[in-house]
Amino acid sequence: MDNKPSGCHQQIVTIDDVFFSYENKHVIEGLQFTVLERDFVGLMGANGAGKTTLLKMIVGLLRPTRGEIRLFGQPVRQFNDWERIGYVPQKNALNPLFPATVREVVTSGLFGRKKLFRRVSKADRQKADDALYAMRIEDLADRRIGQLSGGQQQRVFLARAMINNPELLILDEPTVGIDAETQEGFFRMIRHMHQHHHITFIMVSHDMEMMKSYLGNQPALKDGGLSFYVKHTHEPENCGETNLTHSIQQLRDSMEVLSSR
Ligand SMILES: Nc1ncnc2c1ncn2[C@@H]1O[C@H](COP(=O)(O)OP(=O)(O)OP(=O)(O)O)[C@@H](O)[C@H]1O
């Protein structure tokens, strides 16, 4: 299905009159919002406002109580093109004994929801190498992820989310527990990816200063406890496909600031 209108304005996520309750607790009520191609959406709100709940509905882990969410024009329940989406969930402290290596964690991003036991092909290995290289973590490839610093783990999860060259990246508080300087470098990289690559972002963050410095002071929408800050990047010349492999050098350049710390 080609539902891509000209001019880089495809609806990537459509939230159509969505309600959500946990048992009797109403969290989201009648939310209406559209994320367009190459938007950067910063989602802010107090603890418990429903940010994580909304992201989980967008990636199909929770179902709205009422209303509908569409991904690339398709209702989430029918959507099965999950390779187009990279999702970095809210981070929990990893057990240092968690046995997976960095390479294994990154490669697992290739195995969509229904392909858990796919064999790792040569092409898969190359994709993992590209993602590791782009995030400047190739030297960590054989280390156990639980033994890395928070900032290093961050890059691993981002590499995992990027391995399929996603069109939509969803990040849930990606810099929690990371020192201020590393956070700044991380945001710089995210901004670079948004400005130079064909990726739409939805990011939850409590870092008001950083979010507003990029997205402006005025939310595009305030609904209940949720505030949506949006930056559009719709210059037609930037609409072409961008392949991660072709972008690696640029991404590495944008990582300089991180790796030098
Ligand atoms: N599995 C659950 N069962 C019942 N209530 C839940 C569940 N998960 C979350 N909630 C409640 O729903 C509300 C929204 O939670 P959610 O995690 O979406 O908030 P959030 O905006 O992401 O918060 P934070 O900034 O603390 O991460 C909260 O009041 C929370 O306690």
Q: Which of 22, 223, 227 to mutate to test the pocket of ligand 1 (most atoms within 8 A of CB)?
A: 22
Which atom of ligand 1 approaches the CA of 206 most closely?
Answer: 25
Q: What is the pLDDT of residues 116-126, one digit of tens each?
A: 566 778 888 88
Which residues form the domain of 230?
82-259
CATH code of residue 182: 3.40.50.300
Higher per-residue pLDDT: 245 or 34: 34
Specify if 54 maps to a domain. no
Question: What ipTM does this complex have?
Answer: 0.97
User: How many domains would you assign to the chain?
Assistant: 1
Question: CB count, 10 Å around CB of 194?
Answer: 20
Q: Which range is most confident: 57-71, 89-103, 224-238?
A: 57-71
Torsion of the alpha carbons at 248, 253, 255 and 261, rounded to the nearest 10: 140
For ligand 1, atom 5, the nearest C-alpha belongs to: 22
Q: Which residues line ligand 1 (CB under 6 A)?
A: 22, 25, 27, 45, 47-53
Q: What is the pLDDT of residues 182-226, one digit of tens each?
A: 788 888 888 888 887 888 999 999 888 889 999 999 999 999 999
- Residue recorded with tokens 């989406």: 85
Side by side, which strands form the sheet with 66-71?
A: 25-36, 11-22, 66-71, 74-75
Specify if 241 maps to a domain. yes
Specify if 23 maps to a domain. no
Compute the distance from residue 170 Cα to the ligand 1 centre, in Å: 17
